[in-house]
Amino acid sequence: MENCIGCEIISGGLTPPGGFIHNGEQWTLTHSIAPGGAPLRGMLILQTRRHCTQLADLTPQESRALGPLLQVTCRALEELFQPARVYAGSFGEGVPHVHFMLIPRLDGMPIGAELLKQVLEQHLWTCPADEAAALAAQVREKLRNVL
Ligand SMILES: [Zn+2]
Ligand 1 centre to CA of 52 (Å) is: 7
Ligand 1 centre to CA of 75 (Å) is: 27
Spatial distance between the Cα atoms of 32 and 41, rounded to a whole number of angstroms: 8
Ligand 1 centre to CA of 88 (Å) is: 19
CA angle 50, 144, 11 (to 5 degrees): 25
- Kindly report the pTM of this predicted structure: 0.95
Ligand 1 centre to CA of 7 (Å) is: 4
Q: What is the pLDDT of residue 123?
A: 87
pLDDT 10s digits, 18-76? 999 999 999 999 999 876 678 888 999 999 999 999 999 999 999 999 999 999 999 99
Q: What is the pLDDT of the chain when averaged over all its residues? A: 94
